[in-house]
Amino acid sequence: GYWCNCTGGYYGYHCEYTHDLCNSTYDGYCQNNGTCFDHEENGPLCKCPVGFHGSNCEFTGKVYCSFPCENGGWCIQESSGFVCRCRLGYIGDRCQFSE
């Protein structure tokens, strides 16, 4: 096999991803003053301010998770139910593992 030595903030098997997605491709991705975080595996993720939730912080109202998110992860409602969105450096269905 082979591997690519990525430069300039790019990563991935073929250097196809950038660490700066939030400030370039996805400018304005998070609504309602949500904070965008670049995630190497999941792309941009939003951390929503209190009172907002959803993948892009597009929904208002309280969110009640049936399970706790760990390591500072936040709960969002998707069509399949509630899921945890993890802070950078954490992965897993409850953000229980560090990368």
Q: Give yes or no for residue 97 having a pLDDT over 60.
A: yes
DSSP-based three-state secondary structure for 8: coil
Is 10-98 a CATH 2.40.160.10 domain?
Answer: no
User: Residue ranges per domain, the chain?
Assistant: 10-98
Picking from 46, 86, 81, 80, the residue whose alpha carbon sits closest to that of residue 63 is 81
Asked if 42 contacts 48 with a C-beta cutoff of 8 angstroms, the reply is: no
| 12 DSSP assignment | S
The rounded distance, in Å, linking the Cα atoms of 50 and 63 is 10
Question: Which pLDDT score, from 0 to 100, does residue 88 have?
Answer: 86
pTM of the model: 0.45
Asked if 37 contacts 60 with a C-beta cutoff of 8 angstroms, the reply is: no
Question: Which pLDDT score, from 0 to 100, does residue 63 have?
Answer: 58
